[in-house]
């Protein structure tokens, strides 16, 4: 049974797609069967995993155009073992979706939930039904954020939507944690914003974070997770640590549920 995690923030450029691609690769390396669902029509996670969004193949967004669409038709193996992609359709027009449960029901009826250990959903920053479909289908939300003063509004706006969904359409939705991205601990402002976020959400809700590293940009341009592009880079090391922390946290929560 897959654990489903939405990677999300209401702001663009906060490392959502980079985190989706590199965390999924870390899970796959650890032998976890992992599926990335690219809900963002910018298709960055699709590209980052070496898949062309322009290829004439089925996309996750077909689900919102054809009510009878079977999601497994849009499921593809990437070049890497244990790592699968459901690509985005860059031509899909937002605003065409009225039902927030389509993704959840589609994953269930196609039996995809049983096939995987993890499903990571990359989400669009805009508040529309694509984001709501992702949140309704998820067990957890993981929020990458830039440690700048302006970024707190994106988190606050997401928190409002999170609580709305968690109190209505998906009561099992939980905040997994927040990930500071592009950090430089020498910059005092970064430390201050991360402190504020820790105070707001709880210290145990903030993961150790991803330093700024040009190798992450290069890896994306090469359509490859950083672990396979530059395995000893800062970015690769930081995503490895994040994966360990996330797996430990999910394991901890599951053991609480069982006791």
Ligand X SMILES: Nc1ncnc2c1ncn2[C@@H]1O[C@H](COP(=O)(O)OP(=O)(O)O)[C@@H](O)[C@H]1O
Q: Point out which residues bind Mg ion (CB under 5 A).
A: 16-17, 44
- Measured CA to CA, the distance from residue 202 to residue 164 in angstroms comes to 20
- The dihedral of CA 216, 222, 225, 227: what is its sign? negative
Helices (H), the chain: 16-29, 44-48, 102-109, 112-115, 129-137, 151-167, 188-201, 214-221, 226-229, 234-258
Tell me which residue of 137, 116, 111 sits closest to 39, measured CA to CA. 137
Pick the binder of ligand X from 3, 6, 14, 100 (CB under 6 A). Answer: 14
Q: Which is nearer to ligand X, 13 or 90 (CB)?
A: 13
The 28-57 site mask, x for binding ligand X (CB under 6 A), equals ----------------x-------------
Site for ligand X in 212-241 (CB under 6 A): 212-213, 216-217, 220, 235
Residue 182 as a binder of ligand X (CB under 6 A): the answer is: yes
Chain centroid to CA 141: 8
Residue 16 as a binder of ligand X (CB under 6 A): the answer is: yes
User: Which partner in ligand X, Mg ion, none is near 212 (CB below 5 to 8 A by kind)?
Assistant: ligand X
Pick the binder of ligand X from 102, 181, 197, 243 (CB under 6 A). Answer: 181
Phi–psi pair at 142, nearest 5 degrees: -120, 130
Q: Which stretch binds ligand X (CB under 6 A): 10-18, 56-64, 112-120, 150-158?
A: 10-18
Residue 59 as a binder of ligand X (CB under 6 A): the answer is: no
Residue 15 as a binder of ligand X (CB under 6 A): the answer is: yes
Please state the closest distance from residue 20 (CB atom) to Mg ion, in A. 8
- The dihedral of CA 165, 2, 45, 43: what is its sign? negative
Residue 146 as a binder of ligand X (CB under 6 A): the answer is: no
Please state the closest distance from residue 141 (CB atom) to ligand X, in A. 14
- The dihedral of CA 145, 24, 45, 61: what is its sign? negative
Chain centroid to CA 60: 15
């Amino acid at each position: 049974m897959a654990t489903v995690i939405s990677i999300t923030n209401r702001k663009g450029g906060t490392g959502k797609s980079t985190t989706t691609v590199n965390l999924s690769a870390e899970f796959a390396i650890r032998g976890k069967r992992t599926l990335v669902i690219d809900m963002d029509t910018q298709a960055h996670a699709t590209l980052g995993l070496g898949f062309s969004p322009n290829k004439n193949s089925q996309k996750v967004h077909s689900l919102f155009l054809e009510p009878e669409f079977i999601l497994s038709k849009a499921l593809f193996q990437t070049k890497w073992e244990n790592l699968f992609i459901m690509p985005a359709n860059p031509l899909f027009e937002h605003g065409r979706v009225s039902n927030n449960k389509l993704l959840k029901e589609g994953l269930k009826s196609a039996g995809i939930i049983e096939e995987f250990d993890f499903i990571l959903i990359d989400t669009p920053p805009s508040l529309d039904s694509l984001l709501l479909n992702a949140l309704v289908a998820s067990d957890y939300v993981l929020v990458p954020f830039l440690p700048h003063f302006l970024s707190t509004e994106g988190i606050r706006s997401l928190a409002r939507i999170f609580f709305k969904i968690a109190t209505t359409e998906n009561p099992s939705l939980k905040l997994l944690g927040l990930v500071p991205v592009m950090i430089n601990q020498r910059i005092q402002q970064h430390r201050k914003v991360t402190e504020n976020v820790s105070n707001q959400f709880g210290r145990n809700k903030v993961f150790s974070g991803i330093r700024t590293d040009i190798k992450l940009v290069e890896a994306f341009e090469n359509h490859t997770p950083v672990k396979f592009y530059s395995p000893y880079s800062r970015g690769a090391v930081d995503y490895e640590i994040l994966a360990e922390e996330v797996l430990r946290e999910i394991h901890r929560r599951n053991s609480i549920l069982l006791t």
